[in-house]
Amino acid sequence: MKLAVLVLVCAAVAQTRADEKVVLEKKRLLYHASWTSFRGRHFHYFSSSMTWAEAESFCRSIGGNLASVKNSLENTKLLSLIKQKHGPTTSTPTGVPMSPTITLATRSA
């Protein structure tokens, strides 16, 4: 069963043993201009249908890890980003859009 997943990805800062081409590709994705900056973290919206495990694997494939929202201000900013990129949605009581799947990636500055 596919679930709606809100994924926050904290990108790895350095990869000393990785193949140079792979590192450059990950940096290209992680530092792309379409990312939204907020309090030293950078977020990007992805829309795809995946399980939690698949989302975690995706996050790792771009050099990151799953993370959580740190505070209510960050939560408000992320919900705003979702609405901006995704448009109006039906929300659950927690405010997470129900459909389609939302994936947000983030990295530390």
Q: Domain span at residue 33? A: 8-108
| Mean pLDDT of the chain, nearest integer | 61
33 within some domain: yes
For the record, the structure tokens of 31 come out as 């530092």
Predicted local confidence at residue 101, as pLDDT: 45
Domain count for the chain, please give it. Answer: 1
2 within some domain: no
- The answer, yes or no, to whether residue 78 has pLDDT greater than 80, is no
> Among residues 106, 83, 102, which one has the least CA distance to residue 4?
102
Predicted local confidence at residue 19, as pLDDT: 47
Tell me the average pLDDT across 60-74.
Answer: 72
Calculate the CA 7 to chain-centre distance: 5
Tell me the average pLDDT across 23-32.
Answer: 54
Does this model's pTM top 0.75? no
| Residue 27 main-chain phi, psi, to 5 deg | -65, -40
SS3 59: helix
